[in-house]
């Protein structure tokens, strides 16, 4: 029997490679950067399976470069906006993702960012690291408390629900919006109230984004959306960068039309809108939503199990539907 060729586009934990080695010959791209499109096409030639990262563009050209033996693309992410799913699945290739395993890590980071921006923790650390003089006084570097404030969640999926549970523990009220209403038992548990997005933007003290990137959500938070928010409100984004128009956000923050923003993802990642980096009322971190040792290992192990299932004739564990 011919060994199945499995291409992994970045280095991953050995625990995942062990799963893959049981079903095929594993080739890991060891460069410490994303592959260029040409490099990616070359790397996947002859592959039966590809374990891809969120920065890898997977489309019809990539499938064609791999060859007719390609069976599965396992994306190490819950989002799959980097994959042209219809174009890939129309060619008989299964696409999978890694939902569920990163819910808690991303929700934890969301709350961390929320606290950083509302309590001005980044500003405070920068002040001390710059060795600026300071002394305690009652009006020094005042932030905003969370108790009794309204958290507006855009996208009440698994991560959004986990964020809502944490926010309730801080004494926040929860409203949400999305393509459809959540189940009644979810609304009841979270004491969450559904609002149209226009009303949510004008109601929430913190707007937290947890929606996938689609043509409908690209620049969902644009200049009019930012204008609809309270001047005392904060924006938190741990979903996908292009959901926010970064230039419009920078302008709104500079003019204090909203109070602050905390971003884990960026429109042209890894680039960041330069003006955002100059503003004190912005917290930025480099796509750390799922960045715990346990979570990243669980993500790539799930991707590996998806590959193993498909290459041995089984059904994928977490398929993406076109």
Residue 69 has phi, psi (to 5 degrees) of -80, -10
- How much is the CA Rg of the chain, to the nearest whole Å? 21
The residue among 70, 59, 72, 52 whose CA lies nearest residue 9 is 52
From start to end of the chain, where are the E strands?
5-8, 25-28, 49-52, 72-75, 94-96, 150-154, 173-177, 192-194, 206-209, 234-237, 260-263, 282-284
- The Cα-based distances of 99 to 75, 80, 167, 170, 300 in angstroms read 10, 11, 22, 26, 11
Report residue 12 CA to chain centroid gap: 19
Active site residues: 240, 269, 287
DSSP per position, 104-122: HHHHHHHHHHHHHHHTTHH
């Amino acid at each position: 029997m011919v060994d199945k060729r499995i291409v992994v586009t970045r280095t991953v934990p050995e625990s995942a490679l062990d799963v893959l080695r049981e079903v095929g010959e594993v080739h890991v791209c060891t460069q410490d950067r994303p592959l260029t499109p040409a490099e990616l096409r070359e790397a996947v030639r002859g592959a039966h399976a590809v374990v891809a990262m969120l920065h890898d563009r997977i489309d019809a050209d990539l499938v064609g470069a791999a060859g007719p033996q390609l069976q599965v693309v396992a994306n190490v992410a819950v989002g799959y906006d980097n994959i042209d799913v219809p174009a890939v699945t129309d060619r008989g290739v299964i696409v999978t993702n890694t939902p569920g395993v990163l819910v808690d890590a991303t929700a934890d980071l969301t709350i961390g960012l929320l606290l950083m921006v509302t309590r001005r923790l980044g500003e405070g650390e920068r002040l001390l690291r710059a060795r600026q003089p300071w002394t305690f006084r009652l009006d020094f570097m005042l932030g905003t408390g969370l108790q009794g404030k309204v958290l507006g969640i855009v996208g009440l999926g698994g991560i959004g629900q986990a964020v809502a549970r944490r926010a309730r523990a801080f004494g926040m009220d929860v409203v949400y919006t999305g393509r459809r209403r959540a189940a009644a038992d979810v609304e009841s548990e979270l004491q969450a109230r559904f609002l149209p997005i226009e009303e949510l933007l004008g109601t929430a003290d913190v707007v937290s984004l947890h929606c996938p990137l689609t043509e409908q959500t690209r620049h969902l938070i644009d200049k009019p959306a930012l204008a609809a928010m309270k001047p005392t409100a904060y924006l938190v984004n741990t979903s996908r960068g292009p959901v926010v128009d970064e230039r419009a956000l920078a302008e709104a923050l500079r003019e204090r039309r909203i109070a602050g923003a905390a971003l884990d993802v960026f429109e042209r990642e890894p680039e960041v809108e330069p003006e955002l980096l100059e503003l004190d009322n912005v917290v930025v971190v480099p796509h750390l939503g799922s960045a715990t040792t346990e979570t990243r290992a669980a993500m790539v192990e799930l991707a590996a199990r998806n590959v193993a299932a498909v290459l041995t004739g089984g059904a994928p564990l977490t398929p993406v539907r076109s």
